[in-house]
Amino acid sequence: MEKTKKYYTEDLIEGAIEELQDRIQWCEKEKEEYDQDDLISEIADNNIPIYTYDLLQYASNNFDLIEPSDLCSDNPSVTQIITANIYEVLTEALYEYINEQNEE
């Protein structure tokens, strides 16, 4: 039976954190240096849905995603607003995760 997608930002955050963990582990294993800010930005960007349908489904389940963001240009489209807000949600969660890991 196929699992129904729920379209909650928590799922996006979980996937982004998993990707961040994997990338950090890989960098440490390969002794590669990385810029934390660049890595977080890239992972957040990679985890934003690209299809309009998916963006609208996330917005319908997360009403805070439809408020215009500082990242939006003048007169943004609905999808631009949702995309910018998802990016902000993901970057905040990834920074929070990094800060929690550094405290341990």
84-97 pLDDT tens trace: 999 999 999 999 99
Check residue 76 and give its pLDDT: 83
Decide: 92 and 104 in contact? Cβ < 8 Å: no
pTM metric for this prediction: 0.88
Which regions of the chain are under pLDDT 70?
1-3, 72
Domains in the chain: boundaries: 9-103
- Give me the architecture of the 9-103 domain, per CATH: Up-down Bundle (1.20)
